[in-house]
A and B are shown apart, each in its own frame.
Chain A
Amino acid sequence: MNKLKKSLALIATLAIASTAFYACGDDSQPANTDSTSDSVSESESESESESESESESESDIDDPAPSAEIKVPETGDKLSILCWTGDDVEKMIENFTDNTDYTADQVEYVNVGSKGGEAREEYANYFAGDEDADLFVLEADWILDYINNDEYTAPLADLGFSESDFDGCYDYTVSIGTDNNGVLKAASWQATPGGYVYRTDLAEEYLGAKTPEEMQEFVKDWDTFTATAKKLQDDGHKIAMADTLGGMWQVWQYNRAKAWLDADNKLIVDDYCKTYAELAKDYYTNGYVTKEDQWSDGWYAIGQDDSTMGYFFCTWCLGKGSMLSNAEGGEGGKTFGKYNITAGPSGWAWGGSWLALSPKCDNGTIAHDFIKYFTVDATTAKDYALFKSEFVNNPDVMKSIVDDGSNKNDLLGGQDQFSVLYESASTIDMDGKITAFDAQIKDAFNQAVTKYAKGDIASYDDMVTEFKTNAAKIEGITVE
């Protein structure tokens, strides 16, 4: 009797203690390392009889997609799309489920991290767990890390896509989505040309510019831009022309002829960096740019209190609920609708997002239909472009929207931003200009430039030393 009690107590204790190990087990997911690998084993390991029957009944109702080519199993009951922000994905799901037979509970947005940089790391942790992961969003700053790693991304061919399906897209998005072995791994639903977004009321009052075309004359190149900034200060208006140093660098970075790293992953610091650093210092000291940080609350506040004439914004900053909306104080805000867009001093593009396929994907048909909806299919892409004010990844669609004149952006007082950005979109060439380390190198550079502009670092040479010293800590690049 005593023995029984004791052993019972022991078992109970061990049982409680064993809960400490919960979630520590390695679920040893099948590594889908090459594109030809059979995915049957995966489907077996993850299938549940219940969900299987459910998905079968679904596929009966749904449009018969070219399922013969889809190598991804159909065992999941929900398409999970991972991203670090709901800004895009939630709108996409809304638009997708509104216009297809899929219901809202078949597609779900999963938040992974709260910033792009965080998500980069969180994805890897997330994939190591048991949770459902079908599609996920990658950012230009670090997409190369993921698409060149077969552990994390599967070829889009597994969903039945071929490269020719994306012929209608901007070429650069396809080449960035292609890995080092020439396998297409990710598709983008957007192109990201940028312009200069300015306050119409202030431009008219201070500069006499009544239309975006007239305003463009004041900002047509960097010399003119600087001259205009100087004029505003000389006239005693206490207003900056550019929003933040971070925002200015996005424009300058795009126009740099070289990537941050050469073929041997060696850091390139050229005269272009010097020109920019001197300009940044000049702007900062003279008040041509505000002293706020990009991505801080102050970045938005300057849009409402006449601290800045305008912002450098690109396509994804101009939609509902995006950065421009924040800068205007939201609907009914102080400066709501008081902005217009012009091309600005130089054409540029900023980042961009790609949809990639997880090797764990278990909803082949929906995943296929979702990607097709936003990237391949011109009709639905156009619908989404108008729905979200998104610059979709299809020149023909964008051309037809511009020609229709059907797009009116309330944030821009009814102006059609696409007509301004369409021209510069065709010249975007980011291929070969991005590296896997861009996010960190950019941070190190901007930090050094800000210190130089503020006066914490005395000379440009010291600034370069500081930048190089910080960048050199990044494992995998060489600095000389």
Chain B
Amino acid sequence: MATAAQRRIKSVSYAKYGYMFILPFFVVYFIFSFWPLIQTFILAFSENGTRTPALIGFDNFKTILAKPAANDFKAMGIHKSFWDGMKNTLIIWFGNFLPQIALSLLLAVWFTDLRVKMPGKGFFKVVMYMPNIITAASVAGLFLALFGDSSYSVINTLRGCAMTKEQLLAAGLDSAPEPWKIITTCWPSRCLVMFIQVWMWFGNTMIMLMSGIQGINESLFEAAEIDGANSTQTFWRITFPLLKTIMVYTLLTSMIGGLQMFDIPYMLHTGNVVNDYIKTVAVFIYEMFHSNFAKPSFGYSAAASVILFVITSILGALVFYVQRDKDAIEKKKKQKQAAKEWKRKQKGGGFSI
């Protein structure tokens, strides 16, 4: 026999307190994330050059996507910058993702291999992760000092570009070599950004892949070893297939991050103008609304953001589609079909045994 108090407690619904406790998050989310998202879509259809824009329909998208007339410099400028940015983004992303994943996978396998008894694993893990915790601004500053266009950057100084006349005489040289202009030359600057991105992120990816490998049942590796599989076979037959989920995750996060790449490409320049050859879409978006204080082009920026959003969504969906679990889908289909069959049989009556 329950007492009155017990009955009362039973009737208390705790659900509403749960909602109350998560309410603050949703309020903050709606104000700071969801509304800005909606606002971006609205701005994409709004005019430029003002802080209180009116709606103008699809004009911004037309300017960015459609090929402009030859003498329309404005449309040409925006169209060209966006597509140059898209090209640069994709080039730099591919150029950093492929080496990065290969390097990370190799290191992750080595670090987790039972047979490789590598001393100081923890030390290497920390050291390799380290570049990731340096702020991008410092990294950009560092690489500008190392590989800058100036005759006084480290690489050009080592090549002797900053030699004085006396030093040249002493070295028996006629003239100092021309400084390498890595930062403002097309491919060298792109390769430098790719390298920086790999250097900054391979540690992070490696840790992620290692946790994935450690999640694989150890008995599988042991069994393989007993059966006489060498490490290549173990890798391709066990590690790689079972690592698929975590690889998809890495690919997806890296892709989203890569399409939004901003900090290093934006900061790797001297003077006032961002280097054209490494200008990404995100830099284009930022510059369009930012560089012109009095008349910001929110419309073009927002439209480019929306286009980027669509591209990201499509690529994300594509990754999921390619990597989908075909067996599970097949199974589900069969189950459904069996259920249908069974229902039909029920309706038909007669045949049941």
Q: A301-B152, A305-B164 are in contact. Are A476 and B81 (CB under 8 A)?
A: no
B165–A237 touching, CB < 8 Å: yes
Smallest Cβ-Cβ distance to B175: which chain A residue:
A238
Shortest distance between the CB of A169 and any CB in chain B (Å): 27
Q: Is B273 an interface residue (CB 8 A)?
A: yes
A246 to B271, CA, bound (A): 10
**Selected contact of A145 from candidates B17, B28, B77, B294, CB within 8 Å:** B294
Please tell me which one of the listed residues B175, B178, B270 contacts residue A296 in the complex, with CB atoms under 8 A apart.
B270
Given contacts A295-B271, A296-B270, A443-B273, contact A472 B73 (CB under 8 A): yes
Partner of A291, one of B21, B151, B292: B151
Q: Which residues of B contact A468 (CB under 8 A)?
A: 73, 77
Interchain nearest-CB distance for A261 vs B (Å): 13
Q: Judging by beta carbons under 8 Å apart, are A479 and B73 in contact?
A: yes
A238-B175, A298-B152, A469-B77 known; A476-B49 Cβ under 8 A: yes
| Chain B hits for A440, CB < 8 A | 291-292
Chain B, range 292-315, C-beta contacts under 8 Å to A: 292-297
A238 and B270 contact, CB distance less than 8 A: no
A370 to B138, CA, bound (A): 39
Q: Does A86 sit within 8 A of B, measured CB to CB?
A: no
Assembled-state Cα–Cα distance A437/B49 (Å):
13
Q: How far is the CB of B148 from chain A (nearest CB, A)?
A: 8
Asked whether, in the complex, the Cβ of A17 is within 8 Å of the Cβ of B24, the reply is yes
Instruction: Say whether A443 contacts B20, CB under 8 Å.
Output: no
Contact partners of B293 in chain A: CB under 8 A: 120-121, 124, 142, 145
Which residues 1-59 of A have a CB within 8 angstroms of B? 6, 10, 13-14, 16-17, 20
Are A475 and B152 touching (Cβ within 8 A)? no
Q: How far is the CB of A126 from chain B (nearest CB, A)?
A: 13
Is B21 in contact with A475, judged by CB distance below 8 angstroms?
A: no
Q: Size of chain A's interface in residues, with CB distance under 8 A?
A: 53
B150 interface contact, C-beta 8 A: yes
* CB within 8 Å for A443 and B272 given contacts A20-B28, A238-B165, A297-B152: yes
Asked whether A294 lies within 8 Å of B271 as measured between CB atoms, the reply is yes
Q: A298-B151, A440-B292 are contacts. A472–B74 as well, Cβ < 8 Å?
A: yes
Evaluate whether A17 and B184 lie within 8 angstroms (CB atoms) in the complex, with A298-B150, A473-B288 already known.
no
Cβ contact within 8 Å between A296 and B292: no
The closest CB in chain B to the CB of A442 belongs to B272
A117 close to chain B: CB less than 8 A: yes
CA–CA, A142 and B152, complex, Å: 32
Bound form: Cα–Cα A6–B25 in Å: 18
B81 and A473 form a contact (CB under 8 A):
yes
User: Do B270 and A480 touch (CB < 8 A)?
Assistant: no
Known: A117-B272, A469-B73, A475-B295. A301 touches B150 (CB 8 A): yes
Please measure, in the bound complex, the distance between the C-alpha atom of A450 and the C-alpha atom of B273, giving whole angstroms.
Answer: 11
Q: A10-B20, A293-B270 are in contact. Are A475 and B48 (CB under 8 A)?
A: yes
A14:B24 contact, CB within 8 angstroms:
yes
B213 within 8 A of A: no
Q: Which residues of B contact A446 (CB under 8 A)?
A: 273
Across the interface, do B150 and A475 meet the contact criterion of CB distance under 8 Å? no
Expressed in whole angstroms, the Cα–Cα distance for A246 and B270 within the complex equals 12
Q: Give the docked Cα–Cα distance between A436 and B294 (Å).
A: 9
- CA of A69 to CA of B73, assembled, Å: 51
Contact of B126 with A by CB under 8 A: no
Q: Once the chains are docked, how many angstroms separate the CA of A120 from the CA of B290?
A: 11
Complex: chain A residue closest to B48, CB-CB: A475
User: Which chain A residues lie closer than 8 Å to B149 at the CB level?
Assistant: 291, 293
B162 interfacial contact with A, CB 8 Å:
yes
Given that A293-B150, A443-B272, A473-B77 are known contacts, is A480 also in contact with B176, CB under 8 Å in the complex?
no
CB B270 to nearest CB in A, in angstroms, measures 4
The reply to whether the CB of B255 lies closer than 8 angstroms to some CB of chain A is no
Please tell me if A292 contacts chain B, counting CB pairs below 8 Å.
Answer: yes
Residue A322 at the chain B interface, CB threshold 8 Å: no
Q: Which of B32, B293, B296 has the most CB of A within 10 A?
A: B293
How many angstroms between the C-alpha atoms of A246 and B295 in the bound complex? 26
Closest residue of chain A to B299 (Cβ to Cβ) is A475
Q: Is the CB–CB distance between B292 and A238 below 8 Å?
A: no
Q: In the complex, what residues of A have CB within 8 A of residue B162's CB?
A: 301, 305
- Cα–Cα distance between A259 and B191 once the two chains are bound (Å): 40
Closest to A10 in B: B20
A332 to B181 alpha-carbon distance, docked (Å): 32
Chain A, range 435-480, C-beta contacts under 8 Å to B: 436-437, 439-440, 443-444, 446-447, 450, 454, 456, 468-476, 478-480
Interface residues of A in 193-217 (CB under 8 A from B): none
A178 CB to nearest B CB, Å: 18
Q: A473-B81, A476-B49 are in contact. Are A447 and B74 (CB under 8 A)?
A: no
In A281-298, the 8 Å CB interface with B consists of 290-298
The reply to whether the CB of B78 lies closer than 8 angstroms to some CB of chain A is yes
Cα(A295)–Cα(B21), bound, Å: 53
CA distance A303 to B104 in the complex (A): 46
Which B residue's beta carbon lies closest to that of A290?
A: B151
Q: Is B219 an interface residue (CB 8 A)?
A: no
Contact B78 A473 (CB under 8 A): yes
Q: Does B27 contact A (CB under 8 A)?
A: yes
Inter-chain contact B294/A295, CB cutoff 8 Å: no
In Å, the complex CA distance between A154 and B123 comes to: 61
10 A-B pairs closest in CB distance: A17-B24, A298-B150, A472-B73, A475-B49, A475-B295, A479-B73, A472-B74, A473-B77, A472-B77, A469-B77
7 more A-B residue pairs beyond the given contacts A295-B270, A469-B73, with a C-beta to C-beta distance below 8 A:
A16-B24, A17-B24, A291-B178, A296-B148, A440-B292, A443-B273, A470-B77
Could you name 8 residue pairs across A and B whose Cβ atoms are closer than 8 Å?
A: A10-B17, A14-B24, A142-B293, A149-B294, A301-B151, A436-B294, A446-B273, A479-B74
> Which residues of A come within 8 Å of B, CB atoms?
6, 10, 13-14, 16-17, 20, 117, 120-121, 124, 142, 145, 149, 237-238, 246, 290-298, 301, 305-307, 436-437, 439-440, 443-444, 446-447, 450, 454, 456, 468-476, 478-480
